[in-house]
Structure 1
Amino acid sequence: MRLTVRTNIAMRALMTCAVNPGKIVRKAEIAEATGASEAHLGVVINQLAQTGFIETIRGRNGGIRLRLPPEEISVGRVFRTFEANTPFAECFSARDNHCPIAPVCKLRNSLDTALEAFYASLDRVTLSDLTCNNAGLERLLSLEPVC
Protein backbone atom coordinates (compact mmCIF):
# COMPACT_ATOMS: atom_id res chain seq x y z
CA MET A 1 0.00 0.00 0.00
CA ARG A 2 1.20 3.47 -0.82
CA LEU A 3 -0.40 6.75 0.24
CA THR A 4 -1.12 9.42 -2.31
CA VAL A 5 1.00 12.56 -2.39
CA ARG A 6 -2.05 14.57 -1.33
CA THR A 7 -2.52 12.54 1.86
CA ASN A 8 1.15 12.92 2.71
CA ILE A 9 1.04 16.68 2.12
CA ALA A 10 -2.19 16.98 4.13
CA MET A 11 -0.55 15.37 7.14
CA ARG A 12 2.52 17.62 6.80
CA ALA A 13 0.31 20.72 6.63
CA LEU A 14 -1.75 19.65 9.65
CA MET A 15 1.38 18.83 11.66
CA THR A 16 2.87 22.22 10.77
CA CYS A 17 -0.27 23.95 12.04
CA ALA A 18 -0.28 21.81 15.19
CA VAL A 19 3.30 22.65 16.17
CA ASN A 20 2.57 26.34 15.60
CA PRO A 21 -0.54 26.81 17.77
CA GLY A 22 -2.18 30.20 17.65
CA LYS A 23 -0.19 31.21 14.58
CA ILE A 24 -1.68 31.76 11.14
CA VAL A 25 0.55 29.71 8.88
CA ARG A 26 1.12 30.69 5.26
CA LYS A 27 1.15 28.22 2.40
CA ALA A 28 4.70 29.24 1.45
CA GLU A 29 5.90 28.57 5.01
CA ILE A 30 4.40 25.08 4.99
CA ALA A 31 5.89 24.36 1.56
CA GLU A 32 9.32 25.46 2.68
CA ALA A 33 9.21 23.63 6.02
CA THR A 34 7.89 20.36 4.57
CA GLY A 35 9.41 20.27 1.10
CA ALA A 36 5.97 20.26 -0.51
CA SER A 37 5.04 21.83 -3.82
CA GLU A 38 2.99 25.00 -3.36
CA ALA A 39 0.75 23.91 -6.23
CA HIS A 40 -0.05 20.56 -4.60
CA LEU A 41 -0.35 22.28 -1.24
CA GLY A 42 -2.96 24.69 -2.59
CA VAL A 43 -5.21 21.81 -3.67
CA VAL A 44 -4.71 20.06 -0.33
CA ILE A 45 -5.40 23.20 1.70
CA ASN A 46 -8.64 23.70 -0.20
CA GLN A 47 -9.76 20.15 0.60
CA LEU A 48 -8.66 20.43 4.25
CA ALA A 49 -10.74 23.61 4.56
CA GLN A 50 -13.79 22.12 2.81
CA THR A 51 -13.73 19.11 5.14
CA GLY A 52 -13.40 21.21 8.29
CA PHE A 53 -9.87 20.35 9.41
CA ILE A 54 -8.56 23.89 8.96
CA GLU A 55 -9.84 27.39 8.46
CA THR A 56 -8.45 29.78 5.91
CA ILE A 57 -7.86 33.44 6.57
CA ARG A 58 -7.78 35.73 3.54
CA GLY A 59 -5.86 38.92 3.07
CA ARG A 60 -2.41 40.30 3.53
CA ASN A 61 -1.83 38.51 6.84
CA GLY A 62 -3.82 35.46 5.78
CA GLY A 63 -3.01 31.81 5.90
CA ILE A 64 -4.41 28.75 7.63
CA ARG A 65 -4.85 27.35 11.12
CA LEU A 66 -6.44 24.30 12.64
CA ARG A 67 -10.20 24.52 13.05
CA LEU A 68 -10.19 21.80 15.72
CA PRO A 69 -7.78 21.03 18.56
CA PRO A 70 -5.12 18.48 17.48
CA GLU A 71 -6.53 15.88 19.87
CA GLU A 72 -9.83 15.96 17.94
CA ILE A 73 -8.28 15.34 14.52
CA SER A 74 -8.15 11.63 13.76
CA VAL A 75 -5.45 10.50 11.35
CA GLY A 76 -7.87 7.85 10.07
CA ARG A 77 -10.40 10.52 9.16
CA VAL A 78 -7.75 12.53 7.31
CA PHE A 79 -6.62 9.44 5.41
CA ARG A 80 -10.19 8.51 4.49
CA THR A 81 -10.80 12.05 3.27
CA PHE A 82 -7.87 11.97 0.89
CA GLU A 83 -7.77 8.28 -0.04
CA ALA A 84 -11.51 7.60 -0.44
CA ASN A 85 -11.56 8.24 -4.18
CA THR A 86 -8.43 6.20 -4.89
CA PRO A 87 -9.30 2.54 -5.45
CA PHE A 88 -7.06 0.20 -3.46
CA ALA A 89 -7.09 -2.36 -6.27
CA GLU A 90 -8.58 -2.54 -9.75
CA CYS A 91 -11.61 -4.46 -8.48
CA PHE A 92 -12.45 -1.62 -6.07
CA SER A 93 -13.14 0.68 -9.01
CA ALA A 94 -16.63 0.53 -10.51
CA ARG A 95 -15.41 2.35 -13.62
CA ASP A 96 -11.99 0.77 -14.29
CA ASN A 97 -12.49 -2.81 -13.14
CA HIS A 98 -11.54 -5.09 -16.01
CA CYS A 99 -10.56 -8.07 -13.90
CA PRO A 100 -12.12 -11.20 -15.42
CA ILE A 101 -12.34 -13.03 -12.08
CA ALA A 102 -13.86 -10.16 -10.09
CA PRO A 103 -17.37 -11.65 -9.95
CA VAL A 104 -16.14 -14.82 -8.20
CA CYS A 105 -12.97 -13.62 -6.46
CA LYS A 106 -12.91 -13.75 -2.66
CA LEU A 107 -9.72 -11.70 -2.37
CA ARG A 108 -11.60 -8.39 -2.60
CA ASN A 109 -13.54 -9.13 0.61
CA SER A 110 -10.30 -9.95 2.42
CA LEU A 111 -8.67 -6.78 1.11
CA ASP A 112 -11.70 -4.73 2.11
CA THR A 113 -11.52 -6.15 5.65
CA ALA A 114 -7.78 -5.46 5.85
CA LEU A 115 -8.21 -1.92 4.54
CA GLU A 116 -10.91 -1.17 7.08
CA ALA A 117 -8.66 -2.54 9.86
CA PHE A 118 -5.90 -0.23 8.61
CA TYR A 119 -8.18 2.82 8.82
CA ALA A 120 -9.61 1.71 12.17
CA SER A 121 -6.10 1.56 13.64
CA LEU A 122 -5.45 5.10 12.38
CA ASP A 123 -8.78 6.29 13.84
CA ARG A 124 -7.18 5.80 17.25
CA VAL A 125 -4.26 8.10 16.39
CA THR A 126 -4.74 11.84 16.65
CA LEU A 127 -2.76 14.75 15.33
CA SER A 128 -1.88 15.45 18.95
CA ASP A 129 -0.36 11.96 19.29
CA LEU A 130 1.96 12.76 16.40
CA THR A 131 2.99 16.25 17.45
CA CYS A 132 2.90 16.57 21.26
CA ASN A 133 6.23 16.00 22.99
CA ASN A 134 7.91 15.54 19.61
CA ALA A 135 10.86 17.93 19.93
CA GLY A 136 12.39 16.81 16.64
CA LEU A 137 9.22 17.58 14.72
CA GLU A 138 8.89 20.92 16.49
CA ARG A 139 12.45 21.83 15.48
CA LEU A 140 11.69 20.98 11.85
CA LEU A 141 8.27 22.61 11.59
CA SER A 142 8.33 25.48 14.09
CA LEU A 143 7.98 28.80 12.32
CA GLU A 144 9.17 30.81 15.30
CA PRO A 145 12.75 32.09 15.05
CA VAL A 146 15.16 29.98 17.07
CA CYS A 147 17.60 32.04 19.17
Structure 2
Amino acid sequence: MRLTTRTNLAMRTLMFCAVNDGRVVRKCEIAEVCNASENHLAQVVNTLAQKGFVETQRGRSGGLRLARPATEITVGAVLRAFETGMPFAECFHAATNTCPLIGTCRFRDALEAALEAFYGALDKVNLSDLVAENHGLIHILKLVEGRPLPACDGPAGA
Protein backbone atom coordinates (compact mmCIF):
# COMPACT_ATOMS: atom_id res chain seq x y z
CA MET A 1 0.00 0.00 0.00
CA ARG A 2 1.14 3.50 -0.75
CA LEU A 3 -0.40 6.80 0.33
CA THR A 4 -1.01 9.48 -2.25
CA THR A 5 0.87 12.76 -2.11
CA ARG A 6 -2.43 14.49 -1.31
CA THR A 7 -2.96 12.32 1.77
CA ASN A 8 0.60 12.86 2.95
CA LEU A 9 0.22 16.61 2.47
CA ALA A 10 -3.12 16.55 4.31
CA MET A 11 -1.43 14.97 7.34
CA ARG A 12 1.43 17.51 7.20
CA THR A 13 -1.11 20.33 7.03
CA LEU A 14 -3.08 19.02 9.99
CA MET A 15 0.10 18.52 12.05
CA PHE A 16 1.16 22.08 11.17
CA CYS A 17 -2.22 23.40 12.34
CA ALA A 18 -2.08 21.30 15.52
CA VAL A 19 1.42 22.50 16.41
CA ASN A 20 0.27 26.09 15.84
CA ASP A 21 -3.06 25.62 17.62
CA GLY A 22 -4.83 28.83 18.52
CA ARG A 23 -3.39 30.63 15.51
CA VAL A 24 -4.74 31.07 11.99
CA VAL A 25 -2.02 29.80 9.65
CA ARG A 26 -1.55 30.70 6.01
CA LYS A 27 -1.15 28.32 3.10
CA CYS A 28 2.15 29.91 2.15
CA GLU A 29 3.53 29.18 5.64
CA ILE A 30 2.49 25.54 5.40
CA ALA A 31 3.79 25.25 1.84
CA GLU A 32 7.19 26.68 2.81
CA VAL A 33 7.71 24.56 5.91
CA CYS A 34 6.22 21.36 4.45
CA ASN A 35 7.99 21.64 1.09
CA ALA A 36 4.82 21.70 -0.97
CA SER A 37 3.36 23.58 -3.89
CA GLU A 38 0.85 26.20 -2.79
CA ASN A 39 -1.44 25.20 -5.67
CA HIS A 40 -1.38 21.55 -4.62
CA LEU A 41 -1.87 22.59 -1.00
CA ALA A 42 -4.93 24.66 -1.96
CA GLN A 43 -6.65 21.52 -3.28
CA VAL A 44 -5.79 19.62 -0.10
CA VAL A 45 -7.01 22.45 2.16
CA ASN A 46 -10.25 22.58 0.19
CA THR A 47 -10.86 18.88 0.83
CA LEU A 48 -9.86 19.19 4.50
CA ALA A 49 -12.39 22.02 4.86
CA GLN A 50 -15.15 20.15 3.02
CA LYS A 51 -14.62 17.12 5.28
CA GLY A 52 -14.71 19.27 8.43
CA PHE A 53 -11.08 18.90 9.53
CA VAL A 54 -10.17 22.59 9.14
CA GLU A 55 -11.95 25.92 9.03
CA THR A 56 -10.88 28.51 6.52
CA GLN A 57 -11.32 32.24 6.55
CA ARG A 58 -10.77 34.63 3.71
CA GLY A 59 -9.41 38.12 3.74
CA ARG A 60 -6.46 40.03 5.04
CA SER A 61 -6.11 37.99 8.22
CA GLY A 62 -7.36 34.81 6.57
CA GLY A 63 -5.97 31.33 6.62
CA LEU A 64 -6.93 28.07 8.25
CA ARG A 65 -7.05 26.34 11.61
CA LEU A 66 -8.30 23.05 12.98
CA ALA A 67 -12.10 22.82 12.99
CA ARG A 68 -12.07 20.70 16.15
CA PRO A 69 -9.57 19.62 18.80
CA ALA A 70 -6.63 17.50 17.62
CA THR A 71 -7.78 14.74 19.97
CA GLU A 72 -10.95 14.39 17.88
CA ILE A 73 -9.24 14.00 14.50
CA THR A 74 -8.15 10.44 13.84
CA VAL A 75 -5.56 9.47 11.28
CA GLY A 76 -7.95 6.79 10.02
CA ALA A 77 -10.64 9.38 9.28
CA VAL A 78 -8.21 11.58 7.39
CA LEU A 79 -6.88 8.70 5.31
CA ARG A 80 -10.38 7.51 4.50
CA ALA A 81 -11.31 11.04 3.39
CA PHE A 82 -8.42 11.12 0.93
CA GLU A 83 -7.83 7.49 -0.05
CA THR A 84 -11.22 5.83 -0.37
CA GLY A 85 -12.11 7.52 -3.64
CA MET A 86 -9.74 5.18 -5.44
CA PRO A 87 -10.41 1.45 -5.28
CA PHE A 88 -7.60 -0.49 -3.65
CA ALA A 89 -7.72 -3.12 -6.39
CA GLU A 90 -9.72 -3.55 -9.58
CA CYS A 91 -12.17 -5.95 -7.95
CA PHE A 92 -13.12 -3.34 -5.34
CA HIS A 93 -14.86 -1.24 -7.99
CA ALA A 94 -17.87 -3.09 -9.37
CA ALA A 95 -18.45 -0.74 -12.30
CA THR A 96 -14.98 -1.19 -13.82
CA ASN A 97 -14.04 -4.66 -12.60
CA THR A 98 -13.03 -7.05 -15.39
CA CYS A 99 -11.38 -9.73 -13.25
CA PRO A 100 -12.72 -13.15 -14.22
CA LEU A 101 -11.94 -14.55 -10.74
CA ILE A 102 -14.32 -12.29 -8.84
CA GLY A 103 -16.81 -15.06 -8.04
CA THR A 104 -14.24 -17.45 -6.57
CA CYS A 105 -11.23 -15.41 -5.51
CA ARG A 106 -10.35 -15.31 -1.81
CA PHE A 107 -7.60 -12.76 -2.34
CA ARG A 108 -10.17 -9.93 -2.32
CA ASP A 109 -11.49 -11.12 1.05
CA ALA A 110 -7.95 -11.13 2.45
CA LEU A 111 -7.31 -7.63 1.11
CA GLU A 112 -10.59 -6.38 2.54
CA ALA A 113 -9.70 -7.77 5.98
CA ALA A 114 -6.24 -6.22 5.77
CA LEU A 115 -7.68 -2.82 4.86
CA GLU A 116 -10.12 -3.00 7.76
CA ALA A 117 -7.22 -3.82 10.12
CA PHE A 118 -5.13 -1.00 8.62
CA TYR A 119 -7.84 1.62 9.09
CA GLY A 120 -8.80 0.16 12.46
CA ALA A 121 -5.25 0.66 13.72
CA LEU A 122 -5.18 4.23 12.41
CA ASP A 123 -8.55 4.99 14.00
CA LYS A 124 -6.80 4.56 17.36
CA VAL A 125 -4.28 7.31 16.56
CA ASN A 126 -5.39 10.92 16.74
CA LEU A 127 -3.68 14.07 15.59
CA SER A 128 -2.73 14.97 19.13
CA ASP A 129 -0.87 11.64 19.48
CA LEU A 130 1.32 12.68 16.54
CA VAL A 131 2.28 16.11 17.83
CA ALA A 132 2.07 16.08 21.64
CA GLU A 133 5.56 16.35 23.14
CA ASN A 134 7.09 15.58 19.73
CA HIS A 135 9.79 18.20 20.22
CA GLY A 136 11.55 17.55 16.91
CA LEU A 137 8.33 18.00 14.95
CA ILE A 138 7.34 21.04 16.99
CA HIS A 139 10.74 22.62 16.31
CA ILE A 140 10.22 22.20 12.56
CA LEU A 141 6.55 23.24 12.38
CA LYS A 142 6.10 25.83 15.13
CA LEU A 143 5.74 29.40 13.93
CA VAL A 144 7.78 31.43 16.39
CA GLU A 145 7.81 35.18 16.81
CA GLY A 146 11.16 36.48 15.75
CA ARG A 147 11.72 33.66 13.25
CA PRO A 148 11.27 35.02 9.73
CA LEU A 149 8.02 33.95 8.13
CA PRO A 150 7.82 32.95 4.50
CA ALA A 151 7.06 35.80 2.12
CA CYS A 152 3.44 35.34 1.17
CA ASP A 153 2.34 36.95 -2.05
CA GLY A 154 -1.18 38.24 -2.52
CA PRO A 155 -4.09 38.12 -0.10
CA ALA A 156 -3.83 35.87 2.94
CA GLY A 157 -6.84 33.73 2.16
CA ALA A 158 -7.02 30.10 3.08
Normalised-by-shorter TM-score class: over 0.9
Name the counterpart of 1:118. Answer: 118
Higher relative contact order (CA 8 A, sep 6+): 2
Between the aligned partners of 1:44 and 1:90, the Cα distance in structure 2 is: 25
What SS does the corresponding residue of 1:65 show, helix, strand or coil?
Answer: strand
State the superposition RMSD in angstroms. Answer: 1.2
Between the aligned partners of 1:136 and 1:69, the Cα distance in structure 2 is: 21
Unaligned segments of structure 2, at least 5 residues: 148-158
What TM-score, normalized to structure 1? 0.95
4+ runs of 1 displaced by more than 4 Å?
none
Structure 1 residue identity aligned to 2:66? L
Pairwise CA distance, 1:145 = 3.6
Confirm whether residue 83 of structure 1 aligns to residue 83 of structure 2: yes
Name the counterpart of 1:13. Answer: 13
What TM-score, normalized to structure 2? 0.89
Pairwise CA distance, 1:108 = 0.4
Between the aligned partners of 2:97 and 2:39, the Cα distance in structure 1 is: 31
Between the aligned partners of 2:15 and 2:79, the Cα distance in structure 1 is: 14
Aligned length: 147
Pairwise CA distance, 1:44 = 0.8
Between stretches 101-110 and 16-25, larger displacement belongs to 101-110
How is 1:1-147 mapped onto 2 (pairs within 5 angstroms)?
1-145=1-145
